[in-house]
Amino acid sequence: MLDQLFVYHPEPWREQDWARISGLPLEDIWFQANDGTPLFGWFIHAGPRTPVLLWCHGNAGNITHRLGNLAQLFRLGLSVFLFDYRGFGQSQGTPSETGLYQDGLAAYAHLVTARKVSPTRLVVFGRSLGSTVAGHLAAQHEAAGLILESSFPSIEHMARTHYFGLPAHWLIRAKFDLAMSVRRVKIPVLVIHGDRDRVVPIRLGREVYENASAPKDFYPIPGAGHNDVTTVGGRAYFQRIMKFIALVTG
């Protein structure tokens, strides 16, 4: 299926002592999606009253490739639940649009039900393809806020951007219609985008922002592409995220 070729680029798990390598208090979490698929993630606990970031990553690699970013967020005083979709890392199964949506919902259920995290201190974060998972989740469940980074309105928009306007999306089953999801979101939204992103041009991020309801904010990162938003954005980037989280979690 073309979805597996063009949309998902998971990497298998490499067994390492990731807690020692990263210096982070990584708690291994096994949980299940609604269809029974076993999923794996890491939870880092910064304290009983800290905001909790539910992190939906992009379409490539696995959670081990986000350790540097995870460390920065933890140092800022955030608890974070970072998980792998089905077929990524140690998580079982094969990725699909409905599957990834289930995985995001299962991660949310783990935090709210198993860990008793109040939705009032839970912020959902999605990067790139993960933005569609985060938006789908936030449209259905209570949370304090939603952060969308390097996001796009739908797979159709991406296909038209990269295939000279040809209807290449007809060959891909997945829709990942974030524009539709974000219109149903009733919580504050922060949209972040690099202004030199050649994978997802900033105009697509602005379209996501335009579809969102207020309160909302758009934060462009000058000089940033698709995969270097955190490094190019630097301290100001993390300050903006923390300002948003402090505002929505009170």
Domain limits, the chain:
2-249
Share of the chain above pLDDT 90, in %: 87
3-class secondary structure, 142: coil
Given this model, what pLDDT does residue 41 score? 98
Q: Examine the residue annotation and report whether 128 is marked as an active-site residue of this protein.
A: yes
pTM, whole model, 2 decimals?
A: 0.94
Active site includes 226?
yes
Closest CA to 121 of 73, 80, 149: 80
Q: Which of 84, 103, 177, 197 is labelled catalytic?
A: 197
Taking the C-alpha atoms of residue 173 and residue 81, their distance in angstroms, rounded to an integer, is: 29
What pLDDT does 172 receive? 60
The question of whether 228 is a catalytic residue gets the answer: no
Catalytically annotated residue among 22, 91, 128, 154:
128
Tokens describing residue 126 = 């999605």
pLDDT at 164: 45
Averaged pLDDT of the chain: 93
Nearest CA to 149 out of 68, 233, 79 is that of 233
Answer yes or no: CATH 3.40.50.1820 is held by domain 2-249: yes
The answer, yes or no, to whether residue 161 has pLDDT greater than 60, is yes
Q: Which of 165, 163, 172, 160 lies closest to 59 in space, CA to CA?
A: 172
Q: Is 228 helix (H, G, I), strand (E, B) or coil?
A: coil
What is the mean pLDDT of the segment spanning 73-99? 97
